[in-house]
């Protein structure tokens, strides 16, 4: 996912190139477990200061279900929009610009005019990963007492021992559920 943008940098503002992407990303990050190649399209457009990379990419990642912790595969979509700057831009930076130490090295076009999207895509995949991935919408999760997977069947845990101070509330809940059953 490296692109030589020398010709694009010489071109006028607004010049663009489009690329179709189908890349194997297994070595992108040891903690990411892709199960499919990264596919989509990328547009590189010349701006007054550098190159704007935009695109829509998708892949599948091996994840753990948020409720039952079983492994699963989840689809991930990534919308890319990042401005990349040539290395010379930082050498010519004025005092009003952001200090060089605050610049993100992942957004630098190197001295050979190569724009590398790997780090931006790696970070984007982590952000695009679902917060609460579920193996199925009706996943029952784990038993809070024994940790057994409730999707495989109900566990044999005994009912929780009720603190006597809460006994009155338990009778109210039991009475309410009985009256609800009668109304149904």
Residue pointed to by tokens 């931006």? 120
Mean pLDDT of all residues in 39-61: 94
Predicted local distance difference test score (pLDDT) of residue 100: 55
Predicted local distance difference test score (pLDDT) of residue 157: 76
Predicted local distance difference test score (pLDDT) of residue 98: 46
Q: What is the tens place of the pLDDT at every residue in 89-117? A: 545 544 345 445 446 788 888 888 999 99
Stretch among 62-71, 74-83, 98-107 having the lowest mean pLDDT: 98-107
More reliable by pLDDT, 2 or 179: 2
Predicted local distance difference test score (pLDDT) of residue 148: 86
What is the residue-wise DSSP string for the chain?
-EEE-HHHHHS-TT-EEEEEEEE--TTS-TT--BSS-EEEEEEEEE-SSSEEEEEEEEEEEEEE-TTT--EEEEEEEEEEEEEEEEHHHHHT--TTSPPGGGS-GGGEE-TT-EEE-HHHHHHHHHHHS-TT--SSTT---B-TTT--BGGG----PPPPPPPGGGHHHHHHHHHHHHHHHHH-
Stretch among 32-41, 140-149, 169-178 having the lowest mean pLDDT: 169-178
* Averaged confidence pLDDT in the chain: 84
Q: What is the tens place of the pLDDT at every residue in 119-166? A: 999 999 999 998 889 999 999 999 888 888 888 888 777 666 667 787
Predicted local distance difference test score (pLDDT) of residue 178: 52
Predicted local distance difference test score (pLDDT) of residue 122: 93
């Amino acid at each position: 996912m490296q692109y030589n943008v020398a010709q694009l940098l010489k071109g006028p503002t607004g010049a663009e190139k489009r690329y179709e992407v189908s890349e194997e990303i297994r070595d992108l990050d040891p903690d990411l477990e892709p199960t499919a190649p990264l596919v989509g399209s990328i547009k590189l457009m010349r701006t007054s200061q550098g190159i704007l990379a935009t695109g829509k990419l998708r892949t599948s990642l091996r994840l753990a279900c948020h409720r039952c912790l079983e492994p699963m595969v989840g689809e991930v979509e990534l919308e890319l929009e990042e401005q990349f700057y040539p290395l010379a831009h930082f050498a010519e930076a004025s005092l009003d610009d952001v200090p060089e130490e605050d610049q993100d090295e992942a957004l630098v076009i190197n001295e050979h005019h190569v724009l590398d999207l790997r780090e931006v895509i790696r970070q984007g995949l982590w952000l695009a990963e679902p917060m609460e991935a579920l193996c199925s919408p009706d996943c029952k999760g784990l038993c809070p007492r024994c940790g057994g997977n409730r999707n495989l069947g109900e566990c044999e845990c005994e009912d929780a021992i009720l603190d006597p101070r809460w006994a009155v509330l338990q009778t109210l809940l039991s009475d309410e559920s009985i009256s609800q059953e009668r109304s149904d």
